[in-house]
């Protein structure tokens, strides 16, 4: 770290443990919120949720920043600067600031840039990047945003200009001018989705969902007939050369590997990916004395044989749509959007996760659903009851998660992606989604529902809406990537 200065620091924290021990309690929760009524002109929005327990507006949405555009489908968000920019080169003329939130839109391919510093409770859109900008580089379906230590911002993409599958990344400079695509060389990933990087080991890993032409219309039988248009692979890139050098096919168990995380410790080249469709978690690690990685299944959540009312029993996979790792790399949290549960695993031994907590928050097999018959369940002896918080039945299932820096609070939203919400949980769409809070025992393990916390999106100004990803203004477990101090 000889070229780093001790007097100037960028945003975030020096290490993940610094963030866990010294980071403040979260007070605001920026929540991506989707308008399911495609005729509503105000469109999607960013909800500012007050999560300060001493505030008079605790558990309330205190501001809504609308895109005022139909059909965007805001989904994930990221920062212009995070903990990867903490160590500042001594020759740098500027010190990075975390002051812009980046909001890509899955369906319109627009990207919205928000000022979150002038008034943190009232973010404001200061720049809109037209979807034609991405199409001009033959990419669409922007998903994950991460800042880079050099000041650029990178967004993963899932399609080409025609909506067919394509795994790549689009780069913007610090002023949000488009630089172009990131991947160099002839070799390209078949599909794209999420990504995480570790410069110390000169590696970046990405996961795969599928072609925008497929998922934008909802799930259909036969979608997996062409696995060039739906994902089942992990892709590893040389960080320094921006080239794809290894692809691991996870097979049928690994169809739709979505959220992917290296451990937070930047000197541990290992991590996890949640595979949605069949509810498996794979662990991956760098081979000894090699740049190659290997992957193995370490969590296997069996499907359930369920008749959902059509007289035909079919396999219902858990649909793992999010995973999150505590900043001390001790606990892994996994959701099952269809089965309805959130699970906590101790990953002290990452190759052998131990289940330490499980909590049902709705789902598609609740005991009060009259037309549902569970014919076979390899885990449960009886169907879980419906969950109520403050008198409200939780519709839908547990979806995106965000963990407090100290690891003691886990926020959980209910919406996956509005076309899929409409297909699998139409009642949630008509009544609005929600955010609930899980209290975490960080000493012994275990999770419990906080019965006093509920953010209800059923009575929004322009109709019920659907909350998805959540962020804290100062960074969190899924936005911030740490670099080794001698990287």
- The per-residue DSSP string of 280-306 comes to EEEEEEEPTTSS-EEEEEEEE---EEE
Dist CA 182 CA 218 (whole Å): 29
What is the CB neighbour count within 10 angstroms for residue 243?
13
DSSP output for 65-78:
EE--BTT--B---E
The first and second tokens of residue 290, run together, are: 């090699």
Q: Which helix (H) or strand (E) holds 431?
A: helix 426-431
pLDDT at 218: 80
Cite the DSSP H helix spans in 101-150.
Answer: 131-135
Q: What is the dihedral of CA 397, 398, 400, 401, to 10 degrees?
A: 170
CA distance 422 to 394: 16
How many other CB atoms are found less than 10 A from the CB of residue 188?
14
Closest CA to 334 of 19, 326, 443, 441: 326
- With 0-12 / 13-18 / 19 or more C-beta atoms within 10 angstroms meaning exposed / middle / buried, residue 191 is buried
Q: How far apart are CA 330 and CA 406, in angstroms?
A: 12
The span from the CA of 291 to the CA of 436, in Å, is 41
Using CB atoms within 10 A of its CB, is residue 435 exposed (0-12), middle (13-18) or buried (19+)? buried
Give 346's contacts (C-beta < 8 A, 6+ positions apart).
330, 331, 353, 354, 356, 445
Tell me, rounded to whole angstroms, the distance of Cα 93 from its chain centroid.
33
Asked if residues 149 and 85 have their Cβ atoms less than 8 Å apart, the reply is yes
Token pair 């991947």: residue: 183
Cβ-defined contacts of 66-70 (< 8 Å, 24+)? 66/42, 67/42, 67/43, 67/105, 67/110, 67/112, 67/125, 68/41, 68/42, 68/43, 69/43, 69/44, 69/108, 69/110, 70/38, 70/39, 70/40, 70/41, 70/43
The strand pairing partners of 9, in sequence order, are 87
d(CA 481, CA 284): 18
For residue 449, give the nearest of 378, 384, 383 by alpha carbon: 384
Question: Which candidate, 207, 113, 128, places its Cα nearest to that of 167?
Answer: 207
Beta strands in 81-194 (DSSP E): 87-89, 100-104, 111-115, 124-129, 140-147, 153-159, 165-172, 178-181
Q: Which residues of the chain have pLDDT under 70?
A: 1-8, 486-487
Please tell me the distance from the alpha carbon of residue 59 to that of residue 31, in angstroms, as a whole number: 12
**In the structure encoding, which two tokens stand for residue 280, read together?**
């498996």
pLDDT at 486: 66
What's the chain's length in residues? 487
Nearest alpha carbon to residue 410 among 335, 316, 350, 353 = 335
- For the chain, the farthest-separated pair of C-alpha atoms sits apart, in whole angstroms, at 69
- Coil, strand or helix: which one is 225? helix
pLDDT value for 94: 83
Angle at 363 between CA 354 and CA 272, to 5 degrees: 35
Q: How many CB atoms lie within 10 A of CB 13?
A: 22
Question: Which pair of tokens denotes residue 260?
Answer: 């992917």
Please give the backbone phi and psi of residue 79, each rounded to the nearest 5 degrees, phi first: -105, 160
Within 8 A by CB and 6+ apart from 391, the residues are none
pLDDT of residue 487: 56
Whole-angstrom CA distances from 145 to 105, 112, 257 are 11, 12, 17
According to DSSP, residue 251 is labeled -
Is residue 274 within 8 Å of 323, Cβ to Cβ? Answer: yes
pLDDT at residue number 7: 53
């Amino acid at each position: 770290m000889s070229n780093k200065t001790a007097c100037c620091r960028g945003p975030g924290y020096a290490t993940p443990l610094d963030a866990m021990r010294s980071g403040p309690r979260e007070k605001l929760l920026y929540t991506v919120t989707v308008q399911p009524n495609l005729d509503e002109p105000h469109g999607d929005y960013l909800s500012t949720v007050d999560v300060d327990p001493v505030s008079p507006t605790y558990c309330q949405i205190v501001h809504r920043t609308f895109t005022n555009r139909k059909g965007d489908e805001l989904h994930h968000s990221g920062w212009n600067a995070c903990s990867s920019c903490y160590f500042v080169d001594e020759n740098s003329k500027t010190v990075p600031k975390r002051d812009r939130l980046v909001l890509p839109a899955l369906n319109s391919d627009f990207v919205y840039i928000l000022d979150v510093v002038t008034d943190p409770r009232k973010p404001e859109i200061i720049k809109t990047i037209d979807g034609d900008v991405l199409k001009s580089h033959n990419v669409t379906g922007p998903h994950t945003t991460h800042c880079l230590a050099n000041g650029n911002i990178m967004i993963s993409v899932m399609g080409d200009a025609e909506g067919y599958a394509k795994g790549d990344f689009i780069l913007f400079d610090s002023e949000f001018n488009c630089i172009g695509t990131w991947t160099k060389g002839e070799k390209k990933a078949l599909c794209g989705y999420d990504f995480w990087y570790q410069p110390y080991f000169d590696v970046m890993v990405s996961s795969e969902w599928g072609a925008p032409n497929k998922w934008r219309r909802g799930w259909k039988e036969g979608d997996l007939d062409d696995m060039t248009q739906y994902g089942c692979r992990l892709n590893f890139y040389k960080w320094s050369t921006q080239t794809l050098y290894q692809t691991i096919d996870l097979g049928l168990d690994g169809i739709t590997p979505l959220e992917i995380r290296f451990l937070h410790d930047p000197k541990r080249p290992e991590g996890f990916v949640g595979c949605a469709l069949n509810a498996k978690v794979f662990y991956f690690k760098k081979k000894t004395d090699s740049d190659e990685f290997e992957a193995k299944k370490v969590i296997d959540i069996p499907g359930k044989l369920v008749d959902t009312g059509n007289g035909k029993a079919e396999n219902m996979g858990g649909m793992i749509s999010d995973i999150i790792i505590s900043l001390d790399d001790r606990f892994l949290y996994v959701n099952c959007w269809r089965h309805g549960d959130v699970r906590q695993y101790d990953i002290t031994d990452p190759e052998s996760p131990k289940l330490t907590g499980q909590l049902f928050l709705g789902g598609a097999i609740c005991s009060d659903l009259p037309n549902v018959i569970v014919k076979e369940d390899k885990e449960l002896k009886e169907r879980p009851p419906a969950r109520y918080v403050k008198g409200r039945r939780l519709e839908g299932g547990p979806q995106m998660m965000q963990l407090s820096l100290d690891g003691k609070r886990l926020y959980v939203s209910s919406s996956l992606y509005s076309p899929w919400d409409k297909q699998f949980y139409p009642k949630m769409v008509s009544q609005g989604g929600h955010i609930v809070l899980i209290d975490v025992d960080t000493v012994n393990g275990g999770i419990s529902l906080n019965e006093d916390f509920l953010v209800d999106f059923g009575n929004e100004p322009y109709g019920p809406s659907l909350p998805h990803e959540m962020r804290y203004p100062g960074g969190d477990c899924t936005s911030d990537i740490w670099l080794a101090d001698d990287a």
